[in-house]
Amino acid sequence: MPYFKDSDELAYLFGKLYDEAKCDSRVAPKIRDAKIIVQFRYEEPQGIVTINAIAPPTQEGAFFDVLWGDDTGLKPTVEMRMKADIGHRFWHGKVNLMAALTRRQIIAKGPIPVILKLLPTVEPMYEMYPRILRELGREDLIVT
């Protein structure tokens, strides 16, 4: 059974994660300093989110912008395509990126070394995401 009932639920739950991450001092400055645009293209259900760490953020307190939808007008430096369930498990820290790339569970376009270099940067998000789910009363979605 899929984790998300529809695209709205995916955008809401992942949106909470990305919104917290863009202001988190452990994560956001390193992403900003990488000066990249990363786009996650989730499928089943669909959700497209773009991290714009090239332009100055539009929100006070944020280090980069998070944009939802396919019409951002931005060309991603790196594009990551995966099923939403893989993304859900990834943000729990339960998916090995190299193994997922090899198995084509995650399909990456762009400079893979850039993504691998940023991987340690996003590790705090692995604890952030389950905590957010708990705070929202969605313990049913927590992967153990």
- Report the top-level CATH class of 7-136: alpha beta
* Residue 92 confidence (pLDDT): 98
Separation of alpha carbons 35 and 23, rounded Å: 16
Question: What tens digit of pLDDT does each residue of 86-95 get?
Answer: 999 999 999 9
- Confidence class of residue 112 from pLDDT cuts 50, 70 and 90? confident
| Amino acid sitting at position 94 | K
% of the chain residues with pLDDT over 70: 100
Query: Mean pLDDT throughout 28-57?
Result: 97
Query: Could you state, in order of their start, the residue ranges of all structural domains in the chain?
Result: 7-136
- Find out whether 37 and 50 touch, Cβ atoms under 8 Å: yes
CA end-to-end span of the chain: 16
- By the 10 Å C-beta count (0-12 exposed, 13-18 middle, 19+ buried), 101 is classed as middle
Question: Which residues, including other chains, have CB under 8 Å from residue 92's CB and lie 6 or more apart?
Answer: 126, 129, 130, 142, 143
Question: What tens digit of pLDDT does each residue of 49-71 get?
Answer: 999 999 999 999 999 999 999 99
